[in-house]
A = this chain, B = another copy of it.
Amino acid sequence: MENGIRLDYNNMMYENIGLKGIYGGDIANIRPDMEKAHFNLNEKRKNGSLEWMDIIYDQEEEINEILETASGIRQWADTFVVLGIGGSALGPAAVHHALKHPYYNELPKEKRDGWPKFYVVDNVDPERLSGLLDIIDIKTTVFNCITKSGNTIETMSQFMIVKDILEKELGKEDAKKHIICTTDKTNGALIKIAEKEGYKTFFIPSKVGGRFSELSPVGLLPAACGGIDIKELIKGAVSMDKYMAENGVMENPAYMYAALSCLALEKGRNISVIMPYADSLKLVADWYSQLWAESLGKKYDINGKQKNIGQTPVRALGATDQHSQMQLFVEGPDDKIIVIIGLDKYKREITIPVDSDVDDLGFLRGATHNNMISIEQMSAEYALLKAGKVNMTITLPEVNEYYLGQLIYMFEVATAFAGELLNINAFDQPGVEEGKNAAYAMFGRKGYEAKKAELDAKPHKDKKYII
């Protein structure tokens, strides 16, 4: 798209990749399904069930409140900590990492424009939260506890620990300003506690699921507290939405991305590699992995037919992974689609000195790392092409709020669209219930006695299979 990100899928196609590529006829065949998927998504949007799309237009009030809150926090806080897991952690971490300095927390405050340091604690490893408490001053720290359900045990346990420490160190009254809750307006344990204690709260619209929530207060508050221009982020998403509305399904980069991925899956490529050539986008690949994996990995289709479908995301980083996973991508089985993300422009430039005395490597003199990473991207694309491995490239003019907003929104729509093409529900996650229930039973939670009995009766471990 003009003034926007570009999707180049030449290397998916027969003309470039040869016999194993996708043919014009494949695309013609899938086009009716694409039109139908487009129609279905539009219907769902009209009836209000795709609220994650609508929020990019109707959050003016929330955004103003977020900006005001962030500006208040900047006055006194040195540290901003997200307590969350899954979609409540991956989006905030990805956006902050993409747009801020690569060693942000090690910059002096003035180089952070006065914004607080930024941490995301997304695990219950006891070394993690303890470790964080070693290095922060709780008196100048804000904890943003994010959980859609308000009952996520990992996040709620972190919250309980932090609340206790704050109240013991600062007193119940002073602890208040250190806690902000982002959760559902009515459901779950967190909102009840927040209301009782009088904590500042932001709400996640009821129909916006965790992994589609980055452009809601889930992502916007943490971003704003890093000085990220959240209005531009939303503007980027809106520009992508409008472009999609104004162009046909074949010109829609999200739809085409989804359709090509599904065609590749149909032809046996059960792996989707996402490989940004930019350190700044490394965590965007993590965010995308949850989105693609959790949305499309499903046992049943919408008619209840067992399918066990899904395409497994694999994260790689260019140029680094040319010295790691690339050997497998080039020479291994034809079981992958490789998605490269490139940039037209990086934020910095660094030049290899022209007078280096470097033996055989003289050809590098005077080059920049900017040249080098671009050349490596092109050479990797070429090596994949020559090996007959399908690949496509998404190019961002640069990594800023606007284009990142486009990219996030594009991937969200692509995922929802792929769900339609695969005839599955992209918005639920029934497969995690089994593990949750087993955990509840092991904790001895009331109501899970039957599950506990089931667990006690599970196949025993044979010692001969433990070495």
- With A293-B325, A373-B124, A435-B380 as contacts: A189 and B8 at CB distance below 8 Å: no
- Residue of A151, A358, A461, A462 with highest tally of chain B CB at under 10 A: A358
A359 contacts across to B, CB distance below 8 A: 189, 192-193
> Is A415's CB within 8 Å of the partner chain B?
no
**A3 → B minimal CB distance (Å):** 14
The CA-CA distance from A202 to B192 in the complex, in Å, is 61
The one of B134, B308, B335 in contact with A312, judged by C-beta atoms closer than 8 angstroms, is: B335
The one of B127, B348, B385, B435 in contact with A131, judged by C-beta atoms closer than 8 angstroms, is: B348
A350 contacts across to B, CB distance below 8 A: 126, 129-130, 161
Interface residues of A in 302-329 (CB under 8 A from B): 308-310, 312-315, 317, 319-320, 322-329
A1 contacts across to B, CB distance below 8 A: 467
Check A442–B378 contact: CB distance below 8 A: yes
A325 contacts across to B, CB distance below 8 A: 289-290, 293-294, 297, 312-313
Type the 1/0 row for A319-354, where 1 means its CB is closer than 8 Å to any CB of B. 110111111111111111000000000111111110
Interface-lining segment among A34-42, A67-75, A152-160: A152-160
> Is A242's CB within 8 Å of the partner chain B?
no
Type the 1/0 row for A91-113, where 1 means its CB is closer than 8 Å to any CB of B. 00000000001110111000100
Check A256–B357 contact: CB distance below 8 A: no
> Is A450's CB within 8 Å of the partner chain B?
no
The CA-CA distance from A297 to B326 in the complex, in Å, is 9
Interface-lining segment among A49-57, A58-66, A218-226, A424-432: A424-432
A253 contacts across to B, CB distance below 8 A: 467
- With A129-B369, A376-B124, A465-B13 as contacts: A330 and B432 at CB distance below 8 Å: yes
The CA-CA distance from A325 to B336 in the complex, in Å, is 18
Interface residues of A in 124-172 (CB under 8 A from B): 124-132, 134-135, 151-154, 156-157, 160-161, 163-164
Check B431–A368 contact: CB distance below 8 A: no
A329 contacts across to B, CB distance below 8 A: 297
Given A192-B359, A253-B467, A310-B332, 14 more A-B residue pairs with CB atoms under 8 Å apart are A10-B465, A10-B466, A102-B131, A123-B317, A123-B319, A123-B320, A126-B369, A127-B346, A127-B347, A130-B348, A294-B325, A363-B443, A363-B446, A383-B434
